Amino acid sequence: MIWVDTILRGLGIAERFRAVVGGTDVPCGKPPPDVYLRAAEELGFAPAQCAAIEDSATGVIAAKAAGLRAIVVPNRYTALQDLSRADAQVRSLEQVMGLLDWQDLEGLYRFRHQIVLNRLCNLHTYKLARR
């Protein structure tokens, strides 16, 4: 997780994240759901109140096993994986924005930045959570 913290601090955005959980923070990394369960717990939300933005089958499996909604944005390395377990599959992060019920989630501005940063920093463990 040191590299994640370093990236977030380097970009000057660490304070935008209420929780950052990585595979080294839990007993088992993906595909077991430990990362997502810990993140939901740290955010103070039930997993069913969260959505994960993922790019791989392994991440989708972990998110669904934890009880989260999963939106997958495959990349050139994961596009041929079986991503059928995701609740939705889109080609770009811009399309993700239209899938979320923003009345159930925190502010659009905050989440737009966290979704983009999730992908830029390869932080597949950050969850979108509603109040």
Domains belonging to the chain, first-starting first, are 2-129 (3.40.50.1000)
Instruction: Give the per-residue pLDDT at 78.
Output: 94
Instruction: Give the per-residue pLDDT at 28.
Output: 92
pLDDT at 7 over 90: no
Instruction: Give the per-residue pLDDT at 44.
Output: 87
pLDDT at 31 over 90: yes
Please enumerate in sequence order all residues whose Cβ is within 8 A of that of 52, keeping only pairs 6 or more positions apart, or say none. Answer: 36, 59, 60, 62, 63, 68, 69, 70, 71, 124, 127, 128
Three-state secondary structure call for residue 52: strand
Burial class (CB in 10 A: 0-12, 13-18, 19+), 96: buried
